[in-house]
Structures are given as structure tokens and as C-alpha cells.
Structure 1
Amino acid sequence: MAEGIKARLERIGTDGRMVNIPMDHGITIGPTKGLVDIESTIDAVTRGGADSVLTQKGLASRVHPNKNDSGYIIHLNASTTAGPDPNDKRLTGTVKEAVRAGADAVSFHMNVGSDSEPRQIEQAAQITKAADEFGLPVLAMTYARGPDVDEHDADNLAHAVRLAEETGADIAKTAYSGDSESYRRVTEATRLPVIMAGGSPQSDREMLENAKGAMEAGAAGVSMGRSVFQHDTPEAMARAVSMVVHDEATVDTALTQSGL
């Protein structure tokens, strides 16, 4: 691994573990709660302990003054829920643009099993090649999504994270399978660090239990978006997640001591 990639991985995580708050949802679902005044949200979640935040390139100027020295990841593809196929992610930026915008890493999304999977694999190859030239880490958001695909099946998720490694990514993000035992099959499918995607918001306890289960299964962290940035107290929720990931706190301790 290039020294630049190693150095930048340390900017988006802490001691090999990561709490990432993705906030690229504005392009997908519009200016939803927590993203209209994204400056305040970024300030809150990073004060709460998030190691890094993630947005599309156009928001870079709103991120940097408010991220409290946390890492910054720029996402390079997208789709909208209003479009004909939300799984068909198209490129929205380049690695060079991300570097110019001050990113510490880039990310992209692949849906294994979708009709657009072949194009996304090609995109992945382009992005990882370009990122390597700049010494920039790549986070691959790899999901099992498509016709007749079980999005939470551990074998499908294992295929997804393995695809991330095979295409040259440095970190793999995927959904939770629902329990720690089955998720271990996912984390053991690759030598890349695997971080758990938050998915659709549930109760605070349920989200933290998922995070705890993923960590017990060998995950390297969590990438949790709506459950944090749409929370009534995003700083407290970010702090609770960070306690589970970085301090190995129990769910009860994280709920109590975070201020939730």
C-alpha cells in the first residue's frame, strides 16, 4: 500500500476503526431533514466523535469550515429516487476533482445483482486506478441489490465486499445481515476492513445493537447516515455510535453516557 493511502486512511479513521457519517443523500432524496443546514449537522456529528463525513463534491465548501478536523470523503456516483432506476448509479465526479476539493478519500457505490452492475464494475476499475495514482484511499459501498436479490443475505453481502477488494478498493461498506454470527461470513470474505452500512433508520437501540453486532463479527466500523444526521440530537447519536465502535461500549452504556 502506498504511503499516501496509509496516511490518508488515518485521517478518515482512528486506530484502524471508523465512524463515518455519509451525507450524500441530498442528491438521492432531496434536501431532507439534517441536510438543509448541513453546516450545523457536520459540526454536530464531528463534535460527537465521527471520524469522517461524506458528501458529493458540490458541498465541499460547506464541509471544510465545519468538520472539526475530521476526515472528508467525496462520493463519485449517484442516482435519485425519482429516476427510472435508483440502482443505476452514474458518475458525478472524478478523483482529480475530489483531490482539488480537499478530499482525504473517495467513495463509489455498486449494486451487485442489479441491471447496472456491469457499468458499475467498469466505474470501479476507473476510480480505483485513478485514486491509486494520487495515493487516495477508496471506499466501495457494495450492496446486494437487484431483481430477486436478498439485500441482507450474508452470502450475497460476502460477494459484495469481495467485489470491493477484487476491483481495488481499500475499504468495503455493506449492509448488515441481521446478526453477528452470519455477519462474520461477510467480514471474513475479504482482507479489506468492512464497515457496516446503517440502512433505514430504526430505534436508537436497534441501530446501536446492529453496530455492536457488526463489531463483534469483525467489522472495522460503521457508516451510518440518516439515523445520525436526521436524529433530533445528531451529536449525541454520533457519540453513542463512536462509543460502540471505538470504546467497545455496551449498547446500554452508549445510550446512557452519550446523552440520548
Structure 2
Amino acid sequence: MTTGIDARLERIGTDGSFVIVPMDHGLTMGAVQGLKDIESTIDGVTTGGADAVLTQKGIAPRVHENKNGKGYIVHLNGSTTIGPDEQDKRLTGTVEEAIRAGADAVSFHINVGSDYEPDQISQLSEVTETAKRFGIPVLAMAYARGPGVDSADPEALGHAVRLAEELGADIVKTGYSGDSESFQHVVESTRLPVVIAGGSRGTDRETIDMVRGVMDAGGAGISMGRSIFQHEDPEAIARAVAAVVHDDRSTDEALAEAGLALEA
């Protein structure tokens, strides 16, 4: 890594662990709960302990005044839930545009095993090459998705995270295999920091148990969107997540410290 990449990774994490809240879902799903007043949500999650937030480039003017000095990541591809195929992620920006938008890092989504994998491999390779020239970290969102692919299979997830490393990413996000024991294989498949996606929102305990599981497996944290920004109290759930990722709290301790009901 270059000095620039190392420095910018510190802006989007804390001592090598990461609490990232993606809010690029406005492109994918529209102005859903938590994203209409995205300014308040950004303020809440960063106050609660998120290290960085992530959006598409056009939202950058709404981010900077509300992120409380935390990191900012610009996402470079996307699709919609009402389009012909949500797995067909198309380019929405460039590394240079992200830099002009004030980003500390860029991210790129690839569906490993899908019909669109070949194009997405080529595009991710180009993104990492360009990002290296500018000293910008790349977060690869590498999912196991496609015909006949089990998106929670640790072998498939391990392949996805290794692909991200092979293509030059600096940090990788993937799905959770369902338990800490099987997720250890995923973490051991790469030397990159591995963070997990949250998916659709569950209970508070389910969310924090999942975070505890990835940390117990040797993971580096989370990159959770809807589980955090659609919460009734985004600041509180971000605080609970950060307590596990950064302070090694148990599920019960994290929920209690964040003022969330232990039975939730």
C-alpha cells in the first residue's frame, strides 16, 4: 500500500476496524425511510460511532456538513430494484469524480457467480488501477450471487473475498455465512480486512449478534445500511455496533450501553 492509501484507510476506520454505513440505497430503492432526511441520519450514525458513511456521488453536498469529521466513501456502480435485473450493476462514477466530491475512498459492487461477473471483474480491475495512482482505497463489495449460488455458502463467500484481493482491493465487504465458525473460513481466504453486509433489517439482538459473530471470526467490522439507517434510532444502533467492533463488547453489553432493550 502507499502512504496515501494507509492514511485514508485511517479516515474510514479505527485502528484497522471499520463501522461503515452505506446510504447509496436511494439509487437502488428510492427515498426510503432514513434517506429522505439523509442529513439527520448521517449526523446520527456518525455521532453514534460510525467511522464512515457511503453514498453515490450526487449526495456528496448533503454529506460533508453532517458527518462530524468522519470518513466518506463514494460508490461507483449501481442498479435499481425496479429495473430489469438488480444484479446488473452499471458504472455511476469514476475515481476522479469521487476525489472531486471529497471522498476518502471509493467502493464497487461485484456479484461473483452472476451473469454480469465478467464485466464487473474488468471494471473493478480498472477502478483499483486508477485508485492506486491516486492513493485512494477501494472497498470491494464482493457478493456470492448468481444462478445456483448459495449466497451464504462460506466456500462461495471465501471465493468472493479472495477475488477482491486478487483484483487489487484494499478492504472487502461480503455477506455473512450465518455463524462465526463458518465465517472464519471466509476471513482466512484473504489478507484483506473483511467486513460484512447487514441485508434486510432484523431485530436489534439479531443485528448485534451478527456483528459479534464476525468479530469473533477475525473479521474487521461491518458495512451495514438498512439495519442502521432504517432503525428508529440510528444513533443508538450505530453506538451498539461500534461498541462491539471497537470496544469488544458482548451483545448484551453493547445493547445496554446504547440504551436498547435487551429483549429486542
Corresponding residue for residue 145 of structure 1 = 145
Letter of the 2:116 counterpart: S
Corresponding residue for residue 193 of structure 1 = 193
Deviations 1:163-210 (A, max 9, x none): 100000000100100000000000000000000111121111001101
| Aligned equivalents of 2:68, 2:259: Cα separation in 1 | 20
Corresponding residue for residue 17 of structure 2 = 17
Instruction: Provide the identity percentage.
Output: 67
Deviations 1:10-68 (A, max 9, x none): 00000000000000000001100000000000000000000000000000000000000
Corresponding residue for residue 230 of structure 2 = 230
Alignment of 1:92-103 (within 5 A): 92-103=92-103
Corresponding residue for residue 104 of structure 1 = 104
| Aligned equivalents of 1:257, 1:2: Cα separation in 2 | 37
Letter of the 1:257 counterpart: E
Corresponding residue for residue 41 of structure 1 = 41
| Aligned equivalents of 2:200, 2:216: Cα separation in 1 | 21
Alignment of 1:46-61 (within 5 A): 46-61=46-61
| Aligned equivalents of 2:164, 2:76: Cα separation in 1 | 15
| Aligned equivalents of 2:206, 2:174: Cα separation in 1 | 17
| Aligned equivalents of 1:116, 1:83: Cα separation in 2 | 15
Question: What SS class does the counterpart of residue 8 from structure 1 fall into?
Answer: helix
1:219 Cα deviation after fit: 0.3
* Number of residue pairs the alignment of both structures matches: 260
1:99 Cα deviation after fit: 0.3
Question: What SS class does the counterpart of residue 149 from structure 2 fall into?
Answer: coil
Unaligned runs of 5+ in 2: none
Letter of the 1:164 counterpart: A
Deviations 1:135-156 (A, max 9, x none): 0000000000111110000000
Corresponding residue for residue 171 of structure 1 = 171
What TM-score, normalized by structure 1, do the two folds share?
0.99
Question: What SS class does the counterpart of residue 219 from structure 2 fall into?
Answer: coil
1:66 maps to 2:36 = no
What TM-score, normalized by structure 2, do the two folds share?
0.98
| Aligned equivalents of 1:142, 1:96: Cα separation in 2 | 22
Alignment of 1:210-229 (within 5 A): 210-229=210-229
Question: What SS class does the counterpart of residue 72 from structure 1 fall into?
Answer: strand
Name the Cα RMSD after superposition.
0.5
1:248 Cα deviation after fit: 0.4
| Aligned equivalents of 2:197, 2:154: Cα separation in 1 | 14
Question: What SS class does the counterpart of residue 74 from structure 2 fall into?
Answer: strand
Question: What SS class does the counterpart of residue 182 from structure 2 fall into?
Answer: helix
Question: What SS class does the counterpart of residue 173 from structure 1 fall into?
Answer: strand
| Aligned equivalents of 1:247, 1:48: Cα separation in 2 | 13
1:257 Cα deviation after fit: 1.0
| Aligned equivalents of 1:56, 1:259: Cα separation in 2 | 31
| Aligned equivalents of 1:125, 1:253: Cα separation in 2 | 41
Runs (4 or more) in structure 1 with deviation over 3 Å come to none
Letter of the 2:82 counterpart: A
Corresponding residue for residue 130 of structure 1 = 130
Corresponding residue for residue 155 of structure 1 = 155
Deviations 1:103-149 (A, max 9, x none): 00000000001000000001101100110010000000000011111
